[in-house]
Amino acid sequence: MLITLRNAILRTTNCIKMLHAKCMSTAVPKEEKVKVSGCNINYVKVGKGSHNLICLPGALGTIWTDYKPQIEGIDKNDFTLVAWDPPGYGKSRPPMKQFDVDFYEKDADYAFNFMKALNIPKYSILGWSDGGITGIIHAAKYPETVQKLVIWGSNSFMLPHELEMLKKIKDIKLWSKKMRQPMIDVYGEELFAKYWSKWVEGMENLFNKKDGNICSELLKDVKCPTLILYGEKDPLVDRVHVSHLHTHIEGSRIHLYPDGKHNIHISYAEDFNKKVQDFLQSP
């Protein structure tokens, strides 16, 4: 009788522990702020692993619009993940971002100083789209801080037809509701429309002033192990960028998603997270 009762108590205790662990794993991380170069940066930090990661969102992107599947899915025992609203985006406002020709480089400097403010001297970078460009520049400028680099949907230069595609989607009313709504939730419809329009104009200005070059001259300076992922049906980034990045970033690796589009980290979240973790943990 006593043994049966003890076993029942142990089972109940284990169930409570498992439930508690599950609740902890699904709890919404607390957003915090830290001042960096005059801007209050909004961020979340999750996990207790020794390998630190910084997640860099795409254009106008934020913690939750761009990295929810990674915040929830990356192994928190092996990794500590930091995701931010880049300066001028999301809750890291004011000030509003100015899309000057060097705004990617400014974001790379912000990311370096941001991680320094968090007292994280060494980390790997996950960069999507614009965030991948920022990540490339960061890895090239601050090689002593970057363990590994993972980029997808990114390019180091712009082709004329890519710029024309951006012009065609300058009006957010042409976006699908599924793609438009998360950004409207962050910025409100009026501000999002204006902000996106300014981003497209910034890209057009960059294209004209730099002959389409964004950061190609820095690829040779990326010395850390690099993984380039790409959705082969990406409507925004031409597949030529994959071979260009792979050719000019020494020792880089490629993984392709044949049916993937621009946001493969969301559409293929489970597989994406596994492949990224395997790369980060490889020798």
User: In 10 A of CB 171, how many CB atoms?
Assistant: 12
Q: Tokens 């060494």 identify what position?
A: 122
Confidence of residue 28 (pLDDT cuts 50, 70, 90): confident
- Cis (ω within 30 of 0) for the bond into 235? no
262 is a catalytic site residue: yes
**What is the Cα gyration radius of the chain?**
20
Q: What is the pLDDT of residues 201-218, one digit of tens each?
A: 999 999 999 999 999 999
Q: What is the pLDDT of residue 149?
A: 99
The active-site residue, picked from 92, 124, 129, 156, is 129
Q: Are 127 and 133 in contact (CB under 8 A)?
A: yes
Q: What is the pLDDT of residues 227-267, one digit of tens each?
A: 999 999 999 999 999 999 999 999 999 999 999 999 999 99
Q: What is the pLDDT of residue 27?
A: 73
Lowest mean pLDDT, pick from 3-17, 186-200, 217-231? 3-17
Residue 253's DSSP bridge partners are: 227
Q: What is the pLDDT of residues 30-54, one digit of tens each?
A: 999 999 999 999 999 999 999 999 9
The active-site residue, picked from 51, 241, 255, 262, is 262
What φ, ψ does residue 150 adopt, rounded to 5°? -125, 125
- Is the pLDDT score of 9 beyond 70? no
- Is the pLDDT score of 2 beyond 50? no
The angle formed by the CA atoms of residues 162, 217 and 279, to the nearest 5 degrees, is 80
Compute the average pLDDT of residues 88-94: 97
Q: DSSP labels for 247-270?
A: HHSTT-EEEEETT--S-HHHHTHH
Quick one: angle between helices 103-117 and 130-141, nearest 10? 70
Helix (H/G/I), strand (E/B), else coil: 98 = coil
The active-site residue, picked from 234, 241, 252, 255, is 234
Q: What is the pLDDT of residues 97-129, one digit of tens each?
A: 999 999 999 999 999 999 999 999 999 999 999
Q: What is the pLDDT of residues 137-189, one digit of tens each?
A: 999 999 999 999 999 999 999 999 999 999 999 999 999 999 999 999 999 99
Confidence of residue 11 (pLDDT cuts 50, 70, 90): low
Question: Tell me, what DSSP letter sits at residue 219?
Answer: G
Q: Which two tokens stand for residue 222?
A: 């990326």
238 is a catalytic site residue: no
100 is a catalytic site residue: no
How is the chain split into domains, by residue range?
47-281
Is 47-281 CATH 3.40.50.11810?
no
- Is the pLDDT score of 199 beyond 50? yes
